[in-house]
Amino acid sequence: MSRTSIPIDTDTKDRLDEAKREDETWDEFLLRIVASTGDGMSPGALSDEEAEEALEIVREGRER
């Protein structure tokens, strides 16, 4: 199985660390999180304003 790295902000990593159970691997944790959200967001799940705010947060994170 291949491996990959995903760059994330320190704040995001801290939040993930808090949510991850001590007895699970990162793979198990991420699969649990993905499974709990279903197949992803449906189109229109966010208002235009909410979507723009989310994109701005992502852009700011990429600039760091």
DSSP per-residue codes, 9-29: -HHHHHHHHHHS-TTS-HHHH
* Domain boundaries along the sequence of the chain: 10-63
Instruction: Evaluate whether 21 touches 29 at the Cβ level (below 8 Å).
Output: yes
Question: pLDDT, tens digit, for every residue of 38-54?
Answer: 665 566 667 888 888 88
Tokens of 11: 């704040």
Per-residue pLDDT of the chain (64 residues; tens, 9 = 90+): 788 899 999 999 999 999 999 999 998 988 888 776 666 556 666 788 888 888 888 788 777 6
Whole-number Cα distances in Å, 30 to 15, 42, 64? 13, 20, 24
Q: What is the pTM of this model?
A: 0.52
